[in-house]
A and B are shown apart, each in its own frame.
Chain A
Amino acid sequence: MIELENVHHDYGDHKVLGGISLTLAEPRIAIVGANGSGKSTLARLLNGLLLPTSGRVRVDGLDTKKDGKAIRRKVGFVFQDPDIQIIMPTVAEDLDFGLKRHGLTRERRAAKVTAALLEHGLDQHRDHPAHLLSGGQKQLLAIAAVLITDPTHLVFDEPTTLLDLPNRHRVTRLITGLTQQVVLVTHDLDLAATADRVIVLDHGTVFADGPPARSIDAYVALHTA
């Protein structure tokens, strides 16, 4: 469970989030909003990549201000652009990166990497340079490299925005099949509609919050006026 208590966030004089309180307990939650509504900032607060200017964010009782490192182990984060998220030169090395930081033995790591390569259809590319993968494969690798460390929560920051239609379907299928708690920040309303709860952000505050159909209608109405 992720809890936000009266969270404010500013970049200098620029207020991004103004007093957000939420209890995120549903298995699948989508956050939608226009560009600049504060949703990417909100996503980065959930695993302590950003700390609130005031207020509190807690994950399973741990405070992001105190236990950032432990929280980032629990909360996997998938960025919009896989090109910044893939940080090692080859596919297998990148899958291994996070595992190394979890103190697993070499054999255990090798087994997990092989399993992940097979599961995500990347086994042909084990030792290939990551930059030679297609856009869709890069996003799959980025997601696989997060899943391999067994997080209990996952935050996706616009995971389908840069993808073409077939890859969008593929990644959507992958995300909807996950058993972990998922928080999706997205522009993709089809993807948002698959969630249990949809939160609409507008100018740094919660504009609507509830079942997908109702929230999405409110969001569409907000921006068609």
Chain B
Amino acid sequence: MLSLYHEARSPVHRSPAGAKLAVLLAVGTGLFFVRSIAALGAVLLVVALCYAVAKVPARVGLRQLRPVLPVLIAIVIAQLVLTGWVTAVLVGQRVLVLVALANLVTLTTRTSAMIDTVEAVLRPLRPLGVRPERVGLLVALTIRFVPVLKEQADQVRAAHRARGLRGTRFLTPLLIKTLRLADGLGSAIEARGGPD
């Protein structure tokens, strides 16, 4: 379904989501202080090793990296022209490490564990009026209604095409349908015991 999670049994999968995110944050910050191609090369190797430990096949890891490639190439070329090849390689390595590591967290952590972590991170904000348990409900509602709205969008577009209309004019009817759906959904939440 709507998830990038890659099922496997590994120490990386078992580690708590919060710990993985903390490591990611620490590495992300630390990277900016490493200014040697060899050292960053070593870090990249360690990341690759983590993928192996997590039993994520290279194919799956690379598939997640592919969308970042155009941006990465553009940056490296820009650096090459502007500052020279050393910085170009350093910047390329840095982006690669960060994105690969972040993807690994995503691939090895269930959506539900991520939601729990987000709720935990938000808990200190409670005095400011933030309701962490609401976040879980909102995420669930969104996941539930993406296919419903996708279907509506397809229907509205098909109806427009049938009448020879093109472009973005399907947006207005789609939005009005969505607002109407919100009326019904609001009542349904209320009827079924309210948001909390």
A/B: CB atoms within 8 Å of each other? yes
Residues of A contacting B188 with CB < 8 Å?
Answer: 79, 84-85, 87
Determine if B52 is an interface residue (Cβ-Cβ < 8 Å). Answer: no
Q: Are B181 and A47 in contact (CB under 8 A)?
A: no
Residues of B contacting A73 with CB < 8 Å?
Answer: 193
Q: Are A129 and B193 in contact (CB under 8 A)?
A: no
Q: Are B187 and A44 in contact (CB under 8 A)?
A: yes
Q: Are A101 and B196 in contact (CB under 8 A)?
A: yes
Partner of B190, one of A72, A88, A131: A72
Residues of B contacting A129 with CB < 8 Å?
Answer: 1, 147
Partner of B194, one of A69, A76, A84, A149: A69
Q: Are A84 and B193 in contact (CB under 8 A)?
A: no
Q: Are B144 and A72 in contact (CB under 8 A)?
A: no
CA distance A49 to B191 in the complex (A): 7
CA distance A93 to B190 in the complex (A): 17
Q: Are B185 and A98 in contact (CB under 8 A)?
A: no
Name B1's closest neighbour in chain A (CB-CB).
A129
Residues of B contacting A210 with CB < 8 Å?
Answer: none
Q: List 5 A-B contacts (CB under 8 A).
A: A69-B194, A79-B188, A81-B184, A131-B148, A146-B192
Partner of A89, one of B144, B189, B191, B196: B144
How far, in Å, is A183 (CB) from chain B's closest CB? 14
Determine if B140 is an interface residue (Cβ-Cβ < 8 Å). Answer: yes
Determine if B141 is an interface residue (Cβ-Cβ < 8 Å). Answer: yes
Q: Are A131 and B191 in contact (CB under 8 A)?
A: no
Q: Are B148 and A83 in contact (CB under 8 A)?
A: yes
Determine if B73 is an interface residue (Cβ-Cβ < 8 Å). Answer: no
Name B180's closest neighbour in chain A (CB-CB).
A84
Determine if B99 is an interface residue (Cβ-Cβ < 8 Å). Answer: no
Please give the number of chain A residues whose Cβ is less than 8 angstroms from any Cβ of chain B in the complex. 28
Determine if A141 is an interface residue (Cβ-Cβ < 8 Å). Answer: no
Partner of A72, one of B148, B184, B185, B193: B193
Determine if A219 is an interface residue (Cβ-Cβ < 8 Å). Answer: no
Closest 8 A/B residue pairs (Cβ): A101-B193, A84-B184, A77-B191, A131-B147, A89-B143, A89-B144, A85-B188, A84-B188
The digit string for B1-39, where 1 denotes a CB below 8 A from any CB of A, is 100000000000000000000000000000000000000
Residues of A contacting B148 with CB < 8 Å?
Answer: 83, 131
Q: Are B144 and A88 in contact (CB under 8 A)?
A: yes
How far, in Å, is A94 (CB) from chain B's closest CB? 8
CA distance A49 to B193 in the complex (A): 11
Name A48's closest neighbour in chain B (CB-CB).
B190
Residues of B contacting A85 with CB < 8 Å?
Answer: 188, 191-192
How far, in Å, is A58 (CB) from chain B's closest CB? 18
Name A146's closest neighbour in chain B (CB-CB).
B192
The digit string for B40-67, where 1 denotes a CB below 8 A from any CB of A, is 0000000000000000000000000000
Determine if A145 is an interface residue (Cβ-Cβ < 8 Å). Answer: yes
CA distance A77 to B194 in the complex (A): 13
